[in-house]
Every structure is written in C-alpha cells, then in structure tokens.
C-alpha cells in the first residue's frame, strides 16, 4: 500500500483565498484524523472521522474551517477565507480501527501571505 497520501505537499496562497487540502487514507482503514502542527501549539487534533462520519470536531478552530469525508477513500479540509495565522503543516492520518495506531501522511505545508 502507498500509505496515506496528501495533496498538495506545499500550498502558498493569499489571505482571503479558499484553500482545500486533500487526503487519501490507507485502503481498509475506517478512522481518519486531521491535525495541524505549528511551532507554537505543537500537534493539534482538528477533527476525526469514523466510518466516514465526523465524531469529534471540537478542535476545529473556527467556522472558516470545514472537513468532509464523502467516502472511505477521500477526505478534504477546507479553509475559507484563509488567514496568515492558518499557516502550518496539516497532517492527515488513518487507522484500522478506533483502537489501533494511526499512520500519517507526509503533510501539507500551507503558507498564507
């Protein structure tokens, strides 16, 4: 398996623009996590899905952030409108079940100027 695949690897956008990050989990995994990593706050859990259903989105910073998982093989994290403070590395991870370890993608480095 190719592992968790995220795209794009790097994104530079202007403040106010919409940004969409994409994730393809490992086939057969039924839990999916979105994290944000910054120097100041470390690794923050934004939202996680189980069987394509959002279970906990309490980490989503504000209404500008939204996440979807339309099917078992694809998820998106959207920021609209983007702001410079959203600049971070965003990771997607998937796991086989709610009790198994998670496998991470390579991350998307987002820069909002």
* Residues in touch with other proteins (CB under 8 A): 4, 31, 33, 35, 42-43, 45, 48, 50, 55-56, 91, 93, 95, 98-99, 101-107
Q: Tokens 């198994």: give the residue.
A: 100
Cβ at position 74, least distance to other proteins in Å: 18
Number of other residues whose CB lies within 10 A of the CB of residue 20: 14
Cβ at position 78, least distance to other proteins in Å: 21
Cβ at position 65, least distance to other proteins in Å: 17
Q: Is 94 helix (H, G, I), strand (E, B) or coil?
A: strand
Q: In this structure, is the dihedral angle defined by the CA atoms of residues 27, 31, 78 and 13, taken in order, positive or negative?
A: negative
- Complex with other proteins: residue 25 or 105, whichever CB lies closer: 105
Give the integer Cα–Cα distance in Å for 33 and 23: 10
- Complex with other proteins: residue 27 or 80, whichever CB lies closer: 27
């Amino acid at each position: 398996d190719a592992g968790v695949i995220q795209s794009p690897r790097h994104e530079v956008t202007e403040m106010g623009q919409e940004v969409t990050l994409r994730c393809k989990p490992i086939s057969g995994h039924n839990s999916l996590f979105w994290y944000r990593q910054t120097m100041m706050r470390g690794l923050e859990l934004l939202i996680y899905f189980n069987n394509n259903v959002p279970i906990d989105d309490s980490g989503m910073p504000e209404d500008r952030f939204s996440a979807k998982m339309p099917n078992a093989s694809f998820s998106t994290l959207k920021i609209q409108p983007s702001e410079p403070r959203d600049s971070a590395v965003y990771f997607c991870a998937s796991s086989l079940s709610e009790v198994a370890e998670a496998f991470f993608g390579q991350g998307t480095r987002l820069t909002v100027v």
